[in-house]
Amino acid sequence: MGKPTGFMDYERKTAGAEPPKSRIRHFNEFHTHLPKSEQQLQGARCMECGVPFCQSGMMLAGMASGCPLHNLVPEWNDLVYTGNWKQAYNRLKKTNNFPEFTSRVCPALCENACTCGLNGDSVATKENEYAIIENAYEEGYAAARPPRVRTGKKVAVIGSGPSGLATADQLNKRGHLVTVYERSDRIGGLLMYGIPNMKLEKQIVERKVKIMEEEGVTFVTNANVGKDVKADKLLKEYDRVVLACGSSNPRDIKAPGRDAEGIYFAVDFLRANTKSLLDSNFADKKYIDTKGKDVVIIGGGDTGNDCVGTSIRHGCKSVTQIEMMPKAPDRRAENNPWPEWPKICKTDYGQEEAIAVFGHDPRIYESTVKEFLKDKNGKLKGVKIVKLTWEKDETTGRMNMKEIAGSEQILDAQIVLIAAGFLGSEKYVTDAFGVAVNERTNVRTAPGQYKTNVENVFVTGDMHRGQSLVVWAIREGRETARAVDESLMGYTNLGIQ
């Protein structure tokens, strides 16, 4: 364990952040991390509890508590404290294929289940994870380790997001020959084009992809399976096919005026922005420019926040974020006890930047769009919103949203970004392989399994479970790899942990 009195001797310290008005001038990561000596003291705060909720990954009240990957958190926290960085890396990699991603973009479910957080500040586990993996790259521990033996079995993975990459990484380690097909021009899926550069710089993704290539994984870009690449061809050429295409159908907002020019899905906005940044540092102008414009973002989640931060970096005139749900409390409610995930209000980097630039929080709660307003040329000029209230249906007992009469408000808007979540897999892919889908259009499997109704075809990630976190995608990929390996070899020695 860490120092017996570490949680009392040392205060929690995490990475510093560049001030909002400074960081909005660029699209780079903006955190300044602790030196190794100070990071080791953060490891000392971990007490290796008798019941380490941080690594449990169990569901409580419908929410995950602790790490879904069951990361060996107390072990590598202690190894950080003692300065045994190489062994810390070995223990971290035992459960997590991509700590370079999760240490940047994961909401740290481990920290929210930390016992120290019950009556004080949780251990800075996410920062420790970052220090472990970046030190490993600096010292050469994270270099490629190709498998010594090949099985001769061939697996195609369709999609290169976190679940597809995790599946490929695990199966390659087992010795199978893995080819990853990606319809975009760069590998990474959500990691490349769904998460902005200031949260995850793309050379970090490319660094890991390069190592996977050195280890024997083959990547094919600009390959749209189901359209340009036929499913039948892959089923003939490969022993197994894994669908890892994500939950790619954005939820639309059906309101009068939806055909106005200037309304975009958030996923298209973020993708175009990152691609233009990487291709030409925006010189090609192939992005949705918000400079000097009033921007309204529909959706209060992480994607909506990313749209806030991106819009501000391009110099928008104003930005407003519409959220249907009421504002969460600033502290845990009594009916949301530890170690449940804390349902509290989170002010993320984009909202912090909006407050710094415009002087107020961009979010409007308990509201929805009633109409998109167009000018005479069909261009968007405003959005009519209405306040909502929650009322209980006496028959069903369910809470339903209802508009509050007379609460309409008009917001100036030349650009609207729809960040209302995703509905499920894309039909042309599921039709191409003939896999069954459920009512949410996720690919159907037996509970807890990854094999589809089509022989030799498996599914993983958001395409299987619906829109979720990167850490869940990695877990899905690892579990899918076990299922594929067992189907190929008759047994599996791939660990989920």
SS3 457: strand
Above 70 in pLDDT, residue 438? yes
**Residue 2 confidence (pLDDT) above 80:** no
pLDDT of 316: 98
d(CA 208, CA 188): 10
Q: What is the pLDDT of residues 293-346, one digit of tens each?
A: 999 999 989 999 999 999 999 999 999 999 999 999 999 999 999 999 999 999
Q: What is the dihedral of CA 28, 34, 35, 37, to 10 degrees?
A: -160
Give the class (CATH, top level) of 263-418: alpha beta
Tokens, residue 15:
């990475």
Q: pLDDT tens for residues 102-150?
A: 999 999 999 999 999 988 999 999 999 999 999 999 999 999 999 999 9
pLDDT value at 6 more than 90: no
Whether residue 497 is predicted with pLDDT greater than 80 in this model: the reply is no
What percent of the chain is predicted at pLDDT more than 70? 99
**Please, which pLDDT band fits residue 51 given cuts at 50, 70 and 90?**
confident
Fold of 154-248+423-489: FAD/NAD(P)-binding domain (3.50.50)
Query: What's the rounded mean pLDDT across residues 61-81?
Result: 94
Q: What is the mean pLDDT of residues 81-102?
A: 97
Domain chopping of the chain, boundaries: 6-139, 154-248+423-489, 263-418
Of 305, 354, 362, which Cα lies nearest the Cα of 21? 354
pLDDT per position as a tens digit, 234-259: 999 999 999 999 998 899 999 999 99
pLDDT of residue 330: 94
Radius of gyration of the chain (CA): 23
Average pLDDT over residues 430-454: 96
How many residues are listed for the chain in this entry? 497
Lookup: tokens for 376: 């005479």
67-83 burial: b if 16+ Cβ within 10 Å, else e: bbbbbbbbbbbbbbbee
Q: What pLDDT, on a 0 to 100 scale, did the predictor assign at position 3? A: 79
- pTM for the model stands at 0.95
> What local confidence, expressed as pLDDT, does residue 165 receive?
98
For residue 369 the two structure tokens come to: 């769009």
Whether 113 contacts 183, CB under 8 Å: no
Q: Same topology for domains 6-139 and 154-248+423-489, yes or no?
A: no
Whether the predicted pLDDT of 496 surpasses 80: no
CA pair distance 180, 159, nearest whole angstrom: 7
Average pLDDT over residues 220-234: 97
Pairing relation of β-strands 218-220 and 457-459?
A: unpaired
* Other beta carbons less than 10 A from residue 448's beta carbon: 7
Q: Which two tokens stand for residue 361?
A: 């929080």
In this structure, what DSSP letter does residue 122 have? P
CATH of 6-139, one of 1.10.630.10, 3.30.413.10, 1.10.1060.10, 1.10.10.10: 1.10.1060.10
Answer whether the bond into residue 4 is a cis peptide, omega within 30°. Answer: no
Count CB atoms within 10 A of the CB of residue 435.
Answer: 21
Q: How confident is the model at residue 1 (pLDDT cuts 50, 70, 90)?
A: low
Q: What percent of the chain has pLDDT over 90?
A: 92
